[in-house]
Structure 1
Amino acid sequence: MEQQITRFAGKYVTGFYFPEIHLTDVIEVLILTFLIYQIMVWIKNTKAWMLLKGIIVLAAFILLAAIFKMHTILYLAKNAVTVMATAAIVVFQPELRRALEKLGEKKFLSSVVPFETNREKVRFSEETRESIVEAAFVMGKAKTGALIVVEQAIRLTEYESTGIQMDCLVSSQVLINIFEHNTPLHDGAIIIRGDRIVSATCYLPLSDNMGISKDLGTRHRAAVGMSEVSDALVIVASEETGKVSVAQGGQLLRNISQKDLREKLASIQDKKTEVNKIAALWKGRHNHEKKTNG
């Protein structure tokens, strides 16, 4: 029996290479898988998708040139790679920046490395939340167009500077008055940071997403665009239909109810106060050493 197994292994298994797998190899594969997945998702949701399709077509053309030994085309392609890569970085600089920002938003980073600690437990008060909900639906009922940006972790300083600086507490009366027709501040968006309105008449980036319904105007496209480049929650009151919508993470939820908006605001109201495992272990060890020394 052993001789048969030996002969079989010598005849069929010889020549096969079975690499030795270590823990670091598994971790490396998982990291690469995650990065490739994030790149694919990013490419699908931006103009880079068109670039990728163009690169695939160009690569197929170069492959055919290599098969048929078209030396001139291969020479030109070889010398143009560096220039094309540099041009792609310059042209798609905004998309690359957004991709890095989105990567920085991932929750797993805060659970591994404490980049920042938030002493406050809530981002804004319940009074602010209720004022936003009340104002949004009062303006919707009156068909007053409104665009409200509720800031989260990413600071919106560059968009804040495009508007008129303010510093006042959030209230439904103030919000309604700002967006009232024929008032100096009604055009554009307002930015809310914590319990305060920090800027009004702000210009927001428009989304390039072709999947947005054609019956939606610039206000809704700006809301989606803002949610694509930041983690902000953007509330829209339609001037045409009076419906209230919410944009977050590049997705637009149309015609939501007061309950839905309240839940959306409540979901971002609490700041993450969980201490990461490394910090917790270090704190526990430090406390143990203090008790021992004491």
Structure 2
Amino acid sequence: MSNLDFLMTMKASEWIRNIIDILLVWFVFYKLITIIKGTKAVQLLKGIFVILIVRFLTEVFGLSTLGWMMEQVLTFGFLAVIIIFQPELRRALEQLGRGKIFTRSSLQEDEEQKRLIEAMKKSVSYMAKRRIGALISIEKETGLSEYIETGTPLDATITSELIINIFIPNTPLHDGAVIVQKNKIAAASCYLPLSESPFISKDLGTRHRAALGISEETDAVTIIVSEETGAISLTVAGDIMRNLTIDEFEERLTELWFGADETALVESNVWKWGKKKDG
């Protein structure tokens, strides 16, 4: 009987059961991947993948000695994994016992978003009060790699202390923009394109023109702290929200960074509020 004939003879209940089985297996693997994402276990999986490829190649090319070595690695590797990753396995089992293993990834994502917003809020508040000029551009869907290449690579975790230190006047990296990519500070002292729009207010300086310029060419969200007044502004999709309070800044940044896309926000009352605020 061919595979096609076998599939045709299956009952509807068997189809449903098999589909559910496949979906459950996929869901378990997906959750396991999200749990180990960002941990040293990712490197282990890469190593195992390489070993499996080598083991397959030894079979194809008849490399008996190397094949025997890979067989031993796979045989005793399981025990090594248990020993090396004992803390991670213990935490995973504890979460399973508490019923949290399937909610961990979403909780972690929410916590990380709150941490990032709090870091931005704290640093912007500090710089605004002391009139320290700042320019921070956050990558979304459109890549900013060409602008990152103009600056100094950092690949650093976002913290308020680091952001403040970067923009302290007369330090090596304070001139230019910080670019955030994949929730990390990718580079500092980057050059952004200046907007050439004739409709920009005359009282806006180079930082604001650069923020508007990058927002006209990409979907990036850009934060500006004015060196002259300490005013906080946000740009996206070629528009600017100026003179935000720190609470308004937190709310708008959360919406723009982790909420709806910029097109929806431009058409929303939230964005119109920002434009009316600017007058």
Conserved 8 A contact 2:179-2:188: yes
Partner residue in 1 for 2:145: 157
Does residue 208 (structure 1) correspond to residue 200 (structure 2)? The answer is no
Q: In the aligned structure 1, how far is the partner of 2:224 from the partner of 2:259? A: 24
Q: Aligned partners of 1:123, 1:188: CA distance in 2, in Å?
A: 30
Structure number with higher helix proportion: 2
- Choose from 169, 183, 186 the match for 1:181: 169
CA contact (8 A) 1:123 1:270 kept: no
Residue by residue over 1:151-175, the C-alpha shift from the partner in whole angstroms, topping out at 9 and shown as x without a partner, is 1111100000000011111011100
1:217 and 2:197 aligned:
no
Matched, 1:227 2:215: yes
Match of 2:127 in 1: 139
| Aligned-partner Cα distance in 1 for 2:118–2:236 | 19
Residue of structure 1 aligned with 2:236, choices 231, 248, 261: 248
TM-score, normalization by structure 2 = 0.52
> Are 2:116 and 2:158, in contact at CA under 8 Å, matched by a contact in 1?
yes
- Highest Rg: 1 or 2? 1
Structure 1 segments of 4+ aligned residues over 3 angstroms from their partners: 119-124, 268-272
Q: 1:125 Cα deviation (Å)?
A: 2.0
Q: How far apart in 2 are the matches of 1:150 and 1:261?
A: 14
Percent of aligned positions with the same letter in both sequences? 42
What's the offset of the Cα at 1:263? Answer: 1.7
- C-alpha separation in 1, matches of 2:143 and 2:248: 25
Which residue is equivalent to 1:192? 180
CA contact (8 A) 2:177 2:188 kept: yes
Alignment of 1:42-81 (within 5 A): none
If asked which structure has higher relative contact order (CA below 8 Å, sep 6+), I would say: 1
SS at match of 2:141: coil
Deviation at 1:210, TM superposition (A): 1.1
> How many residues of Structure 1 are paired with residues of Structure 2 in the alignment?
155
1:243 and 1:255 in contact (8 A); partners too: yes
Cα distance in 1 between the residues matched to 2:150 and 2:161: 24
| Aligned amino acid, residue 246 of structure 2 | Q
Question: What secondary structure sits across from 1:154 in the alignment?
Answer: coil
The residue that corresponds to 1:257 in the other structure is: 245
SS of 1:215's equivalent in the other structure is coil
Q: Cα offset for 1:265?
A: 2.1
Distance in 2 of aligned mates of 1:210 and 1:230: 19
Q: Mark the runs of 5 or more structure 2 residues left unpaired by the alignment.
A: 1-105, 261-279
> Partners of 1:247 and 1:124 in 2: how far apart?
23
CA contact (8 A) 1:192 1:199 kept: yes
1:220 partner SS: helix
Give the counterpart letter for 2:121 in structure 1: V
Q: Partner amino acid for 1:208?
A: E
Report Cα offsets for 1:125-166 as digits up to 9, x if no partner: 211111111111210110100000011111100000000011
Secondary structure of 1:200's counterpart equals strand
Separation (CA, whole Å) in 2 of partners of 1:245 and 1:269: 14
- Tell me if structure 1 keeps the 8 A contact 2:154–2:188: yes
Change (3 A) 1:124 1:264: farther
Q: Secondary structure at the match of 1:197?
A: strand
- After superposition, give the CA deviation of every residue in 1:211-264 in whole Å (9 maximum; x if it has no partner): 111111111000000111111110000000111111111011111112222122
- The structural deviation recorded for 1:268 is 3.4
Distance 1:266 1:152, change over 3 A: same
Going from structure 1 to structure 2, the CA distance change for 1:204 and 1:263 (only over 3 Å counts) comes to same
